[in-house]
């Protein structure tokens, strides 16, 4: 006997076809999140504490999700439902990154604004028709997301790993995961979160350069993306290249709107990134931002994935 489909209602609206934006660190997922968040009828959140706690638990110890089965899906579904609530209390927990996507000023998390008023909601609950989330590292919970929301629509962003690594090396939050005591390679191996898959990589990890560790994380993430492409129906997965966001933003916005069956303004992605340069992290900026040694390290670790995705390496790059 088949089970009754789970019905989730948030702010008086049934959650249908929620959208989740996935990608490796610094893949450009936040650019798509901005476009979706500012589109009519959407309520997109990112980095809400409850969602982060659950997704990082699954990311850092995948066995938690596999062993708990439907329980893992229920926990993640409840975390998303809490994140999507629109109220003074809920909005007070919104991180600055989430508010910035909506074009709102930073707010002090967990407490009223300086003038004593609650933070301004980023969306009118009466106008919500669709829900979305673009929290960091959702890629590691993709299977659980689809268990929790069988009708979910996934959007994944792919970017040249060398550009992604260059941005990761400038991001203290990304580098914090590499601090002693946080790398749980002794208890979780292979380790998708850190991209460590064989004993040689695990043994070398403590003395590996930061560029190597970042490259491993990027490689692990894009391998998960490739797995998604093989396993998820076409109507539930839309893949976008960061380079196309730069070069053809209006076309990408139109394609995203068609995939989501939603109104995504064609101008929503225009002007968010430029074609290159070390100062703005644009396409190909790794040539100025990575040392020759770092570039060689990234290509040694992830050269196969770079070439498979169409990013030339070595002399070709």
Q: What is the pLDDT of residue 281?
A: 61
Last residue of a domain, one of 257, 273, 289: 273
Confidence of residue 111 (pLDDT cuts 50, 70, 90): very low
Helices (H), the chain: 29-37, 49-60, 63-68, 70-84, 88-91, 96-101, 142-148, 161-169, 172-176, 199-204, 210-231, 242-247, 249-260, 286-289, 292-308
pLDDT for 293: 97
Domain harbouring 115, CATH code: 3.40.50
**Do residues 289 and 207 share a domain?**
yes
Tell me, yes or no, whether 84 and 219 share the same domain.
Answer: no
Its pTM stands at 0.91
Domain range for residue 172?
161-231+275-317
Assigned domain for 84 exists: yes
- Number of domains the chain contains: 2
Contact 238, 156 (CB under 8 A): yes
Range from 17-31, 76-90, 109-123, 295-309 carrying the lowest mean pLDDT:
109-123
Do 42 and 178 have their domain in common? Answer: no
For 296, half-sphere exposure in the C-beta direction (CA atoms, 13 angstrom radius) is 3
CA distance 111 to 97: 17
Q: If you average pLDDT over every residue of the chain, what do you get?
A: 88
pLDDT tens, position by position, 163-211: 999 999 999 999 999 998 899 999 999 999 999 999 999 999 999 999 9
> Looking at residues 46-69, what average pLDDT do you find?
91
């Amino acid at each position: 006997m088949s089970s009754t489909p789970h019905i989730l209602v948030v702010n008086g609206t049934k959650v249908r076809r929620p959208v989740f934006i996935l990608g490796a660190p610094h893949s450009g997922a936040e650019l798509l999140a901005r476009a979706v968040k500012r589109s009519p009828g959407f309520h997109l959140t990112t980095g809400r504490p409850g969602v982060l706690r659950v997704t990082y638990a699954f990311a850092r110890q995948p066995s938690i999700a596999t062993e708990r089965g439907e329980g893992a899906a229920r926990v993640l579904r409840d975390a998303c439902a809490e994140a999507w609530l629109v109220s003074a209390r809920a909005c007070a927990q919104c991180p600055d990154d989430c508010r910035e996507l909506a074009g709102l000023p930073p707010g002090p998390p967990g407490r009223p604004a300086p003038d004593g008023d609650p933070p301004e909601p980023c969306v009118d609950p009466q106008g919500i028709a669709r829900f979305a989330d673009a929290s960091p590292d959702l890629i590691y919970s993709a299977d659980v997301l689809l268990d929790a929301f069988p009708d979910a629509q996934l959007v994944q962003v792919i970017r040249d790993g060398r550009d992604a690594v260059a941005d990761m090396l400038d991001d203290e939050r990304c580098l914090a995961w590499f601090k002693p005591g946080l790398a749980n390679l002794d208890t979780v191996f292979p380790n998708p979160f850190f991209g460590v898959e064989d004993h040689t990589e695990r043994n070398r990890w403590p003395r590996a350069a930061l560029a190597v560790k970042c490259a491993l994380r990027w490689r692990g993430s894009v391998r998960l993306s490739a797995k998604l492409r093989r396993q998820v129906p076409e109507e539930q997965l839309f893949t976008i290249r960061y380079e196309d966001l730069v070069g053809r933003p209006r076309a990408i916005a139109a394609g995203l709107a068609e995939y989501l069956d939603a109104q995504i303004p064609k101008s929503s992605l225009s002007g968010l990134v430029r074609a290159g340069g070390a100062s703005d992290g644009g396409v190909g900026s790794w040539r100025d931002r990575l040392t020759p040694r770092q570039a060689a390290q990234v290509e040694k670790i992830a050269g196969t994935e770079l070439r498979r995705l169409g990013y030339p390496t070595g002399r070709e790059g």
